[in-house]
Structure 1
Amino acid sequence: MPDTILRTHELHKAFGALRASEGISITLKQGEIHAIIGPNGAGKSTLIAQICGALRPDSGRVEFLGRDVTALPTEARARMGLARTFQTSALAMEQTVLQNALLGALGASGRPWRFFSRVSADQALRDIAESALHEAGLLDFAQTRTAELSHGQRRQLEVAVALTLRPRAFVMDEPMAGLGAEGSKRLTGFLDRLQDRAPILLVEHDMDAVFALADRISVLVYGRVIATGTVDEIRADPRVREAYLGDEA
């Protein structure tokens, strides 16, 4: 297994005169959480879109598991094991927790869509879905309508759906968004355990969570990485304090 699971090399992306990515090169290594932080408008969402295949860079490349995936669509990267969670929920709120996990397992299988009753009866898919729910601590809520979950539980369900991909890496876009202090604490503990399953590229504004979780942090400002280092190195970097952290350092 390669030590570097995910790599971007000199990614450039512009929207007219706006340079959203300027030569971004980052890595995600096995067993780590690498956090991407920066102010609003720094280019974090554009970077994630390029990594996951929703947006093609103007130049540069994305490598996953040692393969150049720059030209591959989102679905192909997902089938390779690149699992993404979103800033805003993409769950089917009127479906049960188990049904959401089953949909994830069906998508990961690459099989064509079938009537849902037949999907539910597929024991192999149920085993994958229930295993993911167990790992996320949601198996007891399998028959609960997703809309009835707390916001934090929905975040856990999003990760469970990603787990059905049997991921080799996670890309998470602000998983703490909308959570209170207690919800953030619970999710932080869950993500800390999850990194043993697959490394996590984490985009997050909750600096308490970032400082608790991250093995490395890259700071993105105006489309450029201005610093990469450990929590202590980033906290002590005067460029980072001026550009983003301020008193939070």
Structure 2
Amino acid sequence: MTDPILDVRGISKSFGALKASNDVSLDLRDGEIHALIGPNGAGKSTLIQQIAGGLRPDTGTIWFDGVNITAESTVARARRGLGRTFQISSLAMEFTVLQNVMLGALGRRGGAFRFFSPVMKDRTMLETAYAALAQVGLEDFASATTAELSHGQRRQLEVAVALTLSPRVFLMDEPMAGLGTEGSHRLMDFLGTLRHRAPILLVEHDMDAVFYLADRISVLVYGQIIATGTADEIRANREVRTAYLGEEEDA
């Protein structure tokens, strides 16, 4: 078995008396989708923020490709290849699709937004942006205003923004949120192919998507991982069925 590219070891994070992360360990390996599920308030967003660099854990370490990145900034982690998409879209709706990809690449590289106009003429960055759009199937929408895109296309655009940094790992926070059945199925197919470009740590409430996509699933309840396994193992786990999937134990 290969070493994990992302390895979270025993991280904890408290806010006063609330322990949002309690000795959490999980990892992500090349070519896989590892889903993180749990009820609302379980600490999933707090955990993702710690992995992405928005929050510093109180204890524990985060390793990326063999390097301890626990103290690194969000930008530094992005430069290493940690790509993130958000539960709530961070796209600029009034900008074109191409401008969003260019703006995202500039911001994640630590560029100053006052230099945005000259960057739009940078041939190398334009080629990178168009290549990213082609990879997600949005090359024909480059000049469209982002507000014109469907919800699913905006999710794909967020992936294109992340692709400009040639990510080694994707962190995805509820990409299916707000999608109808058809949009969810299209995005599920897209993510199924994307895993071969970079593995995905997926936070998702859509259990159909989780069980369809995930190679492994970790269940977070009250800040603790209570189980990790395949879809079949998680379905059969009595503690998970009681704590999260809403089933009562047999009398």
Report the residue type matching 2:47 in the other structure: L
How much does 1:192 deviate?
0.5
Report if aligned partners of 1:105, 1:128 keep a CA contact under 8 Å in 2.
no
How much does 1:111 deviate?
4.6
Report if aligned partners of 1:106, 1:125 keep a CA contact under 8 Å in 2.
no
Deviation digits for residues 73-107 of structure 1 (CA, Å, limit 9, x no counterpart): 11110111101111000001110001111112333
How much does 1:119 deviate?
1.4
1:157-236 pair list within 5 angstroms = 157-236=157-236
**Who is 2:79 aligned against?**
79
**Who is 2:118 aligned against?**
118
**Who is 2:93 aligned against?**
93
Structure 1 residues 108 and 21 mapped into 2: Cα distance closer, same or farther (>3 Å)?
A: closer
Report if aligned partners of 1:104, 1:165 keep a CA contact under 8 Å in 2.
no
1:41-80 pair list within 5 angstroms = 41-80=41-80
**Who is 2:12 aligned against?**
12
For residues 189 and 119 of structure 2, the distance between their equivalents in structure 1, rounded to whole angstroms, comes to 32
For residues 162 and 13 of structure 1, the distance between their equivalents in structure 2, rounded to whole angstroms, comes to 27
For residues 39 and 232 of structure 1, the distance between their equivalents in structure 2, rounded to whole angstroms, comes to 19
For residues 93 and 63 of structure 2, the distance between their equivalents in structure 1, rounded to whole angstroms, comes to 34
Report if aligned partners of 2:168, 2:199 keep a CA contact under 8 Å in 1.
yes
Report if aligned partners of 2:102, 2:129 keep a CA contact under 8 Å in 1.
yes
**Who is 2:152 aligned against?**
152
For residues 112 and 13 of structure 1, the distance between their equivalents in structure 2, rounded to whole angstroms, comes to 32
> TM-score when scaled to structure 2?
0.95
Deviation digits for residues 36-74 of structure 1 (CA, Å, limit 9, x no counterpart): 000001010110011011001110011111111110111
For residues 147 and 113 of structure 2, the distance between their equivalents in structure 1, rounded to whole angstroms, comes to 24
**Who is 2:128 aligned against?**
128
Deviation digits for residues 129-184 of structure 1 (CA, Å, limit 9, x no counterpart): 00110111111100000011111111110111011111000000000001111111
How much does 1:115 deviate?
3.7
For residues 17 and 112 of structure 2, the distance between their equivalents in structure 1, rounded to whole angstroms, comes to 42
Report the residue type matching 2:137 in the other structure: G
Number of aligned residue pairs: give it: 246
For residues 20 and 107 of structure 2, the distance between their equivalents in structure 1, rounded to whole angstroms, comes to 31
Q: Alignment RMSD, CA only?
A: 1.3
Q: Structure 2 unaligned runs (5+)? A: none
For residues 141 and 102 of structure 2, the distance between their equivalents in structure 1, rounded to whole angstroms, comes to 14
**Who is 1:106 aligned against?**
106
SS at match of 2:55: coil
> TM-score when scaled to structure 1?
0.96
For residues 46 and 185 of structure 1, the distance between their equivalents in structure 2, rounded to whole angstroms, comes to 28
SS at match of 1:159: helix
Report if aligned partners of 1:3, 1:29 keep a CA contact under 8 Å in 2.
yes
SS at match of 1:167: coil
SS at match of 2:5: strand
